[in-house]
Amino acid sequence: MQEQLKTLKYSYRKIFLECVKEAQNIDNLESVWGGQIKSELETIRCERENYSCAGCGACCRFAVSEFSPETLKIKAKNGDNFASQFINTFVPYESIDQARKIYPEYVEMLEELTDGNFYIYHCPKVTDDNRCPDYENRPQICRDFPEINGFFLPKTCSFIPWNLKFRSVWLKINAKIEIMNWMNKL
Ligand code: SF4
Ligand code: SF4
């Protein structure tokens, strides 16, 4: 996992520098890159349709948030739709060690990356054979998983090839957004 992270950071740095170079030859970044980003995101979304869920249940059993249940509830009360769906779907593990039993390498990575500043949740509804008992009415956050920005998917997730295929495109999109935001502040 650490190796993967190192490679990811290295790739991002390389892509970022390439984008900085590219930016020097573009007069109107918002217009040129804005259009490209929109079309790339559309391609990524469309391609996702070519993959289907293998039903491993990992995303139902292991959902990570930087927010505690209390904070999520406050955010939900204040109209945050994602927080509302999240806290209405997932409950926190009683302890990190309980979560560690499910996905040890992910917990290890989170501990290294975040100084322990994360919360791990699971859905109490998922069945022992990894089924969603209310699949047709599952929340949008469940339908949307995985997003392209989820770099470290569970090893059992059948969307990994899709994620890998578009990883560098997604990194480039991020680099362009970062550069545009920075230019806007000048
Ligand atoms: S609601 Fe269904 S799909 Fe969503 S996390 Fe729970 S079991 Fe999984
Ligand atoms: S981790 Fe991937 S394959 Fe497994 S249930 Fe979730 S979306 Fe499906």
Question: Tens place of pLDDT for every residue, the chain, 186 residues?
Answer: 667 778 888 999 999 999 999 999 888 888 999 999 999 999 999 999 999 999 999 999 999 999 999 999 999 999 999 999 999 999 999 998 999 988 888 888 788 777 778 899 999 999 999 999 999 999 999 999 998 777 778 888 999 999 999 999 999 999 999 999 998 777
Residue 34 resides in a domain:
no
Q: How many domains does the chain have?
A: 1
Which atom of ligand 1 lies closest to the CA of 124?
Answer: 6
Please name the residues in contact with 34: beta carbons below 8 A apart, sequence gap of 6 or more. 180
In which element (H, E) is residue 91 found?
strand 91-92
Whole-number Å distance between alpha carbons of 45 and 64: 22
Residue 27 resides in a domain:
no
Residue 40 resides in a domain:
no
- 159 C-alpha vs ligand 1 centroid, how far in Å? 17
Residue 156 resides in a domain:
yes
Task: Identify the nearest ligand to the CA of 137 by its number.
Answer: 1
Q: Model pTM? A: 0.84
C-beta 141 within 6 A of ligand 2:
no
- Cβ atoms of 75 and 67 closer than 8 Å: yes
The domain containing residue 169 runs over which residues? Answer: 2-16+51-185
Residue 172 resides in a domain:
yes
